[in-house]
Amino acid sequence: MEVTPEYMNKFRNMGGFDMIRSGRHKIETPEQFAASLKNATALDLDGLIVIGGDDSNTNACLLAEYFAKHNAKCKVIGAPKTIDGDLRNEHI
């Protein structure tokens, strides 16, 4: 999709999450985990890559465990990346 000035103006001063269809929601309830598995299965996903900071990667870990417990075809991978600086790169 081409990001035009007209499209960009719809999201100006909103922080960016709406434009990239991202959010800060956590998957916590049994119903949310079941819905995630149902959607991944319905979409016939082989894998799901979660890119984000510590909260996102916690969700990735929990989803991976849930999917594995339920013998899901879809594998979940967490990739560290952050926009708010909550992931540190320490050199020893």
Q: Which of 18, 46, 54, 84 is catalytic?
A: 84
Residue 50 β-bridge partners = 78
Per-residue burial over 10-22, b if 16 or more Cβ lie within 10 Å, else e, is: eeeeeeeeeeeee
Asked if 86 and 54 count as a contact pair (C-beta separation under 8 A), the reply is yes
User: Does 84 participate in catalysis according to the annotation?
Assistant: yes
Q: Would you please indicate which residues are annotated as catalytic (active-site) residues?
A: 84
